[in-house]
Amino acid sequence: MPTEVKVPTLGESVTEATIGELLKKVGDTVKIDEPIASLETDKVAVEAPSPVAGTITEFRVAVGDTVEVGAIIAVVGESGAAATAAASEAPAAAPAPAPAPAQAKAESIDAAQTLSPAVRRAVLEHGVDPSTIKGTGKDGRLTKEDVIAAAEAKKTDVATPASAPAPAAAPLATGERREERVKMTRMRQTIAKRLKSAQDTAALLTTFNDVDMSAVMEARDKYKDLFAKKHDVRLGFMGFFAKAACLALKDVPAVNAYIEGDEIIYHDYVDISVAVSAPNGLVVPVVRDCQAKGFAQIEKDIADFGKRAKDGTLTMEDMKGGTFTISNGGVFGSLMSTPIINPPQSAVLGLHRIEDRPVVRNGEIVIRPMMYIALSYDHRLIDGREAVTALKIIKEAIEDPTRMLIDL
């Protein structure tokens, strides 16, 4: 008996989503709880699983469609002996023309893994064999980037035979100009609205400082192997900055507060939103109760968020709340920036790349690994003195990590 696959509950206050990708096609068999479609919400991507095992007989949506919770995505029919018997009673179809070689390659591994429409298109365009490519997507699925990379590698590996005449140079394209119009994903639309709303609502201002990273880098070099062996996680910089932020937010509570109507909400805890990159944009999962956690647990939480952001398995619950944000543009090479706050939060700390620069120490010019740090804040709530003080506390804690151990 046919079973309808519906849009699942998406989270508190989330009522609709966009069809980001169809993971199966009509005629494919599915197992119980196997995902058949990827849905994009305002914050995360979620998957719609099949409630039964069977064969997909119909899709009632297409990529890009906006669907509400409970809407029908697809219909799954029976499989197994009953389906086989039904197929045997159907009239024989005329023989279909043989597929093109590239198409045959794309279809040859459908039993092993499902290719998304974008990946199938890339396979056909580049003429590569998908069964020879190792997927980097969730559960080993192929991505469009995997196909393109394999195609480029194939071009590099194929050498021109010595006896073959040199091919004539291809004529240079002159005056060719192309444009591509792509609809914004729901997540990107939400990011755009929230950032613009923050600029329109808050009185944004940014204060800067620079930090000598020598002490933290020495501590990491000295203890990174022991730390990884004991805690099974890498000792990164984010743990240091998270604990330094806890000191600053304790001493300057306005930086850890919200404005709600005509009231200020102060928090006696520190939930840090950590900006990480996901396939569809920047997301900010929350490391909760940082003031009570050690370096190891903070680093484990951040590493887990980074992995799940890449896999697209972050949940709405992971994103809820947050009293302060840390955004590390340095991993992409940023020297300096003015980050935008994440409403309803009132401040965000921006980290940047570390580079050797000449500085004066004890009257002498020396080379030190320096980082610019920036604190953007809502001037409606946080005065300049408070913002500068908070950033100075973070700077001092990073330059002398002992302060984080004795709560200075």
Instruction: Copy the structure tokens of residue 135.
Output: 């997927």
The C-alpha atoms of residue 218 and residue 107 are separated, in whole angstroms, by: 53
User: Per this entry, what is the length of the chain?
Assistant: 408
Residue 295's closest CA among 349, 235, 348? Answer: 235
Check if 379 is active-site. Answer: yes
Phi, psi of 358 (to 5 degrees): -75, 130
Which pair of tokens denotes residue 127?
């003429």
CA 121 to chain centre: 24
Among residues 33, 65, 383, 400, the one annotated as catalytic is 383
Distances (CA, A) of 74 to 6, 8, 19, 32, 49: 7, 13, 12, 14, 10
| CA distances to 122, 131, 137, 154, 207 from 150, in Å | 11, 11, 15, 6, 45
Contact predicate 325/348, CB 8 Å: yes
Is 352 annotated in the active site?
A: no
Cα–Cα distance, 228 to 232 (Å, whole number): 5
Catalytic residue among 33, 65, 379, 400: 379
Q: Supply φ then ψ for residue 37, to 5 degrees.
A: -155, 150
372-397 burial, b for 16+ CB within 10 Å, e for fewer? Answer: bbbbbbbeebbeeebbbbbbebbbbb
Burial of 4 (0-12, 13-18, 19+ CB in 10 A): middle
Which region, left, alpha or beta, applies to residue 222 given φ > 0 means left and ψ of -120 to 50 means alpha?
alpha
**Cβ pair 111, 30 in contact under 8 A:** no
- The one-letter amino acid code at 55 reads T
Whether the bond into 344 is cis, omega within 30 of 0: yes
Which residues, other chains included, contact 111 with Cβ-Cβ below 8 Å and sequence gap of 6+?
none
Q: Is the dihedral of CA 73, 44, 181, 126 positive or negative?
A: negative
Residues carrying an active site annotation? 379, 383
